[in-house]
Amino acid sequence: MPVFDFSNTTEEKKACECTYTTFQSNENTASAKYPILVLDNTAKQWKYHSCGVFTNQTKRTAFEFTQEDGTVCADILRVDARFVNLLRWLGENHINVRLSGENTPDGYAVYKIREIAFGGGKKLSAEDGFLQFMMERLFASSAPSEEAVDEEQEEDGDDMKLTSIQSITDFMTCAGRTMPDNIRLWARRNLAVARSNEVSPEERRHAQRALSIMMNIQWKNNYFEAIDPKEARRILDEELYGMERVKQRIIETIIQINRTHTLPAYGLLLVGPAGTGKSQIAYAVARILKLPWTTLDMSSINDPEQLTGSSRIYANAKPGIIMDAFAMAGESSLVFIINELDKAASGKGNGNPADVLLTLLDNLGFTDNYIECMIPTSGVYPIATANDKEQISAPILSRFAVIDIPDYTFEEKKIIFSKFALPKVLKRMSLKEEECIITDEALNTIVDLYSGTSGIRDLEQAAEHIAANALYQIEVDHLKSVTFDAEMVRKLLI
């Protein structure tokens, strides 16, 4: 019987030879000055566009350039710490890429990586679009901490969107660290369910759908860049006439953000008659904060489940409106505009929809019944509107800084009609100001006709009617201009 002696084996398994060091960077774009990685160029100066593959890093950390005369290898010298896992993934899967870079005294500084179809190479997930999607997320993320990460924690079991199990798995491998810790752990567990053959197809489908929703949200930190108060004031003046107390309160909020670099603990509640521009103020604040915004119309929500989603035990389960808002915005920092908050207490379902808002307003995190994971809400800024604050419960009211929006005076309505409402309509209808003239008596008549109504919506509709009539006379009767006096306005609008 033959005996084999392996004690004198000459070739032992070599340890991975790591040639690079990592550096910390928070740049959101790459350049030769702030590259993704640096390759050794002492043996050869590499071209601006160079093709090849990253080597499998279990053997060596290098890049193999595909040249006309064969393959040339260059060691990786430095790597942005955010991209280490991505480069490892590219190497392990032998994905052909094209590097764009510049030769510098420190090496070949690479600032762009694109996936290419070359020599029948393997392409994963969604080809170059998926690679660029991951890189955008990594650029938007902060530099990882120096703490070691336990990579063994993984449990067993349109435009660019992560929907397939393969793309979700690849994203977790390459850019998982861009997600909060609790969401990363949640994703690993749900990925195990989505892969498992021991659960029902319905459970796998729900797990995959929940993963797709969460992976496509960019989880941002709660640090806010400073906002220019002068630009904020310009936007407010552009959107609103008068309302100095309201504008002052909003500018105070901006100054507070600039000092703390975080959102205030309390949102804004705008209370006033219908048509006074409460929603317009909310949109202006979202524009100032440079955040995406979403609306919750509380008058149409009569069941808390519409906000919190339904449990996955149901075949037709789906996320709630709040989770949908995060998914539509594509990021975790956004402005929630809650319209008609005073109608929220009129729930006809199993509970009061207003109660669901409490955790969202406290910025302590929100849990959707379908997603089954705590969503960080520190980047959410709520702005609510209401006609009657007496109809709002005390717990909800205590979570807002209340701003009363007064109705406009007679003189203010005259200025709003002549300086804002009418010029806006004329511009939309491609009419010149001299083609539609309103006399002073006509202006007084217009405002007097709607003196009994709150807000300016009726005035805006009157401007629309008058401009349309002027356009009709110019086009049909071939007039060069139309001048409206008090009698003409009265006949037209009554």
Is 185 part of a structural domain of the chain? yes
Q: Is residue 15 part of a domain?
A: no
Q: Which domain holds residue 465?
A: 410-493
Distance CA 236, CA 38 (A): 47
Residue 269 is predicted with a pLDDT of 92
Residues 266 and 367 in one domain: yes
Residues 471 and 489 in one domain: yes
Strand, helix or coil for residue 190: helix
Q: What is the 3-state secondary structure (H, E, C) of 194-254?
A: HHCCCCCHHHHHHHHHHHHHHHCCECCCCCCCCCCHHHHHHHHHHHCCCCHHHHHHHHHHH
Q: Name the E strands within 21-155.
A: 21-23, 37-39, 49-54, 62-67, 70-80, 97-104, 107-115
Q: Inform me whether the pLDDT recorded for 147 exceeds 60.
A: no
Q: Do residues 205 and 340 both lie within one domain?
A: no
In a domain, 4, yes or no: no
Establish if 261 belongs to a structural domain: yes
Can you tell me the distance from the alpha carbon of 41 to that of 117, in angstroms, rounded to the nearest whole number?
25
| CATH (domain of 478) | 1.10.8.60
Which residue has tokens 């928070």? 26
Whole-number pLDDT of residue 148? 43
Does 3 map to a domain? no
Whether residue 484 sits in one domain with residue 392: no
Residues 274, 382: one domain?
Answer: yes
Residues 312 and 200 in one domain: no
| pLDDT digits 0-9 by tens, 9-64 | 444 444 566 778 889 988 889 998 999 999 998 888 898 898 988 987 666 788 98
Count structural domains, the chain: 4
For residue range 404-439, what is the model confidence (pLDDT) as tens digits? 888 788 888 888 888 888 998 999 999 998 999 999
Same domain for 475 and 384: no
60 and 184 fall within a common domain: no
Shared-domain flag, residues 204 and 316: no
Instruction: Specify the pTM.
Output: 0.69
End-to-end CA distance of the chain: 114
**Whether residue 474 sits in one domain with residue 424:** yes
One domain, residues 96 and 156? no
* Residue where one domain finishes, among candidates 215, 248, 269: 215
